[in-house]
Structure 1
C-alpha cells in the first residue's frame, strides 16, 4: 500500500478543483517523478521576456498531478454516517494508515435514533478528517435522486402507483413528478406500502391521466433534486468540512440525476452500482462503479476483484454499511490486509477524481 511522504500527502490533499486548475496550467509540461512537487515555471527572464542562454543555468520543469499507481487503487466508501464508521471502520483503517470516504446525510449528524448506536456528530467527523478521511454528501435527507419506471398501469382516478421501487414514497408530503412522452404532472406523497399488487406509493389526489407501465417514470422535480444535493453540501461546508463529492442514496443514480450532480460535485461514488472495478482509461467521475465488499457478497469475489485491480492497474470502489451485523472491524481489517498484500493504493474519492479524471 502506497505510503505518501509528508509533502506528497499535502499535495494529495488538494481539492479536485484546485488540482484540475493546476493540471490545466501545466498540461503542456512533462512529468518528472511522482514525488517531485514542482520547480520553476518558466525558462524565460521575467524582466525582459527573453530566453536565457547561460550554459550554467539549469531549470526544473513543474510536474503534473501525481501519476496513476501501477498496482491500482481502491476507495472505501461508507454510507450514512453511523457511529460504527468511527468505532469499527476508523480503527481498522488506522492499522494500515489508509483513508476512506464517508457519505454523510447532513440532517442525520448526531442523530441518536438511527439503527442501534446512532450517527456520528461533528466531533467524530472532525477526527475522521484528521485521519485523512473525506466527507462526502449523502444528500440532506437521504433522498433518492434517480428515477423508477411504473411496473403496473395506473388508470385515471387511481390513487396508488406501482413503481419498480417505492423509495420516493419514504418522504410523505414531498412532491413527486410522473412523466412520460404524453404528459408530466405532480402529486404529493400521502403514504407508501404494499398490497396484493405490489409495493405502492399513495398520492394525495387521484391522477387525471393514465400512467402506463414501462412508459411512465416517477422522480422528484428538478428543484427538489437541487435542494437535496445543494442543501447538504452547504450545510456540511457550514460545519467546516470540504465537500466535493456525492454518494447517491439507495445506489439510485441515472441520467436524470447526472444532469444536476455536476452543478455541485466533482464526482459520484456510486453512479453505477453492481461492480467494483473501474477502467482507469477515460475514467468518468459521474459514471463510477461501486459495489459492497462485505454485505451482499462473498470473500472470494472480493479477492478476484482485487486481483484484477492489481493486475490491470484499475480503480476499485468498495462500499459498506458499517451498522450491519456482518460488517465488523475484523472483516474491514481483513479486506484491508488483502489490499495491502497486493500493494494496492488506498485513496479517497476526491483524490481518485483528481488523479484519474480527464486523463
Structure 2
C-alpha cells in the first residue's frame, strides 16, 4: 500500500520555494544581470546614472578612448567618468576609434607604411591610396596625427590628415616631411586599438580590465589577441551566459533596441537569469535622448531597475561579474 504522506509533504516545500522566487521583497535565488552602456554618451551620465543611482545599482560603460575630453558635448568627459567610477560603475574600453577588425589592419605587423606622393602645387601635403574600408588613424614615427574633416583644413596644420572614404585616398600633412621619405607613417591596426585605448584610459586614471567590442563584432583571432591586454571581453550574440561554459573573452550580450519595451527586457531576465540561473548582460547605448544608436527611454530603464531591485536580482559590472561567474570568487 502506497503512503500518501510522502507526496503531500512536498507541497509545503514547493510552495515555499515558489514564494521565495516570486513574492515582492524576496531575494532571487538565481543568476545575475549586467547593464553595459556602449560609446560613453553624455546621456548616460545625464539620465541613466541618476536612474540607477536611485535604485542603488551599478553598471559598466564602454568608452571610446579618443572621444574623452575631445570637447564633444555628446560624450562624457573624464570628470563625469570619475563620478561614475566613484559610484561603483566600471569604466571599460570600447576601443580607440570604434572600428571593426575587418575594416582596418589587424596586427602591428600589418601596419604597412603608406606610399605617399607630393600633392601638386603644395610644399607640405602628400597623398596616397589606402586599401582598407576605414582608417582608424595614422602614426608618424610614434606620434599620432589628428584627423580633420577636409583637405583644406589639413593644408595649414602639420600633424594632420584627411581620409576620403569615397575614393579611398588619404591626404597627409606630416610633422616632418622626411617621415614620408623614410616611410615612417603607418595606419593604425586593431592591435593598437586594443592596447592604446587601455593605455589612454589608464593614463586618465581609470582601472580598465574589460573590453567591449565595437559594433558587437568579434573574431576568434581578436579574442585570442585581447588576452594580452584585458581580463574579459563582452560582445553581442543576443543570448545569455551559462554557468560552466562561459568564455570570458567572448561574453554574450542581449542588444536593447529603441522599440523594446521594459516588459520584453524584464522577460529576458525572468527566463534566463531567474529561471535558468544564467548571467544576462544587456547592451545599451544612449538613454533618455536621441543620441547614439538605438537609444532607450529613461522611464523604461527605471522600470527595469525597479524590477531588478524588487526581485533582488544581483546586478554587477562586467569585471565583478567575471570574478563571480568564471572565477567563482566572492558573492553578488
Classify the TM-score, shorter chain. 0.5 to 0.7
**Contact map agreement 1:80 1:105 (CA 8 A) in 2:** yes
Q: Distance in 2 between matches of 1:303 and 1:281?
A: 24
Corresponding residue SS for 2:61: strand
Deviation at 1:245, TM superposition (A): 0.5
Q: 1:261 aligned to 2:234?
A: no
Q: Match for 2:41 among 82, 87, 92?
A: 82
Deviation at 1:91, TM superposition (A): 0.2
TM-score by length of 1: 0.58
Q: Distance in 2 between matches of 1:171 and 1:104?
A: 16
- 2:31 corresponding residue in structure 1: 72
- 1:274 corresponding residue in structure 2: 237
Unpaired segments of 5 or more residues in structure 1?
Answer: 1-68, 149-158, 175-188, 194-200, 205-220
Deviation at 1:344, TM superposition (A): 1.0
Q: Distance in 1 between matches of 2:241 and 2:187?
A: 29
Q: 1:110 aligned to 2:65?
A: no
- For residues 152-171 of structure 1, what are the structure 2 equivalents within 5 Å? 168-169=133-134, 171=136
- 1:242 corresponding residue in structure 2: 207
Q: 1:338 aligned to 2:314?
A: no
**Contact map agreement 2:253 2:280 (CA 8 A) in 1:** yes
Deviation at 1:299, TM superposition (A): 3.6
TM-score by length of 2: 0.63
**Is the alpha carbon distance of 1:222 and 1:121 closer, same or farther for their aligned partners in structure 2, counting shifts above 3 Å?**
closer
Q: Match for 2:165 among 169, 177, 192?
A: 192
Range with bigger deviation, 316-325 or 119-128: 316-325
Deviation at 1:223, TM superposition (A): 7.3
Corresponding residue SS for 1:103: strand
Q: Distance in 2 between matches of 1:79 and 1:112?
A: 19
Q: Distance in 2 between matches of 1:134 and 1:100?
A: 6
Q: Distance in 2 between matches of 1:70 and 1:147?
A: 44
**Is the alpha carbon distance of 1:341 and 1:234 closer, same or farther for their aligned partners in structure 2, counting shifts above 3 Å?**
same
**Is the alpha carbon distance of 1:203 and 1:357 closer, same or farther for their aligned partners in structure 2, counting shifts above 3 Å?**
farther
Q: Distance in 2 between matches of 1:236 and 1:173?
A: 19
Q: Distance in 2 between matches of 1:172 and 1:239?
A: 20
- For residues 1-359 of structure 1, what are the structure 2 equivalents within 5 Å? 70-113=29-72, 117-146=73-102, 168-169=133-134, 171=136, 191-193=164-166, 202=168, 224-270=189-235, 273-295=236-258, 297-308=260-271, 309-322=273-286, 325=290, 326-358=295-327
**Contact map agreement 1:136 1:245 (CA 8 A) in 2:** yes
**Is the alpha carbon distance of 1:89 and 1:276 closer, same or farther for their aligned partners in structure 2, counting shifts above 3 Å?**
farther
Aligned length: 234
Corresponding residue SS for 2:38: strand
Deviation at 1:147, TM superposition (A): 6.7
Corresponding residue SS for 1:76: strand
- 2:125 corresponding residue in structure 1: none
Greater helix content: 2
Corresponding residue SS for 2:165: strand
Q: Distance in 1 between matches of 2:191 and 2:256?
A: 30
Deviation at 1:172, TM superposition (A): 7.4
Q: Distance in 2 between matches of 1:146 and 1:280?
A: 31
